[in-house]
Amino acid sequence: MSDFVLIHGGLHGAACWDLLRPELEARGHRTFAMDLPIDQPGKLMDDYAEAALAAIEGKVADDAFLVGHSMGGMVIPRMVAKRPKARLIFLCAGFAHTTEEERLEGVAAVTGDFFGWLIPDDQGRVTMSRENAVTAFYQDVAPEIADRAVAGLRLQWAEAFANVGPVAPYADRVTQVIYTTEDRIIDPERHRRMSEARFGITPIPLPGGHSPFLSHPAALAEILDGVAA
């Protein structure tokens, strides 16, 4: 049995994991998820990491797997200083950078359309239309599940995407990278190459788009179960 701490991506919340969690729990694991304060102006990635750490304090094993989806890949490396035995799994995720070269490489891996799909409000927060959310996140998700996911999207303070500082090296903490072959937010081939170059890991591919926890929860759980084993 392992503990999986599930860290959601931008515009999302803990509910995005609702199909994956029972699949992992049926395989004998424990799961934990929380809403990060993404809708609060002034909160940055370090604040998200602190909120996640506070939510799991005293609840999870020291060697838990921290699974970061999408923007969550910027958060989980910020958690390991206070969780020195935790292990990292990136899921369709950006990689927190340790150098300016890595930052630029990560920016180049994001598809050109993503930031153009965002709709700002008067507090500097962003959301997406249903059409663009399905295009970006849910192109292979069943319509009724995609509708629930779109309804559950949260406002995201946009500055948190732009104002991301470097982190201490963490490659030795990375257990696995999982990517999807038709991801419309992070270029799959660039993602694969970065995984190999930065972590010495051959990442695991899944078919489909950016949200395999909704489109292929059982298959994703099988992969995570195998990683834990």
* pLDDT tens digits, one per residue of 112-164: 688 889 999 999 999 999 999 999 999 999 999 999 999 999 999 999 998 99
Quote the Cα angle for 14-162-46, to 5°: 55
Using one digit for the tens of pLDDT, what is the confidence trace for 75-123? 999 999 999 999 999 999 999 999 999 999 999 999 868 888 999 999 9
Residue 174, phi then psi, degrees to nearest 5: -85, 120
Mean residue pLDDT of the chain comes to 96
pLDDT grade for 189, boundaries at 50, 70 and 90 = very high
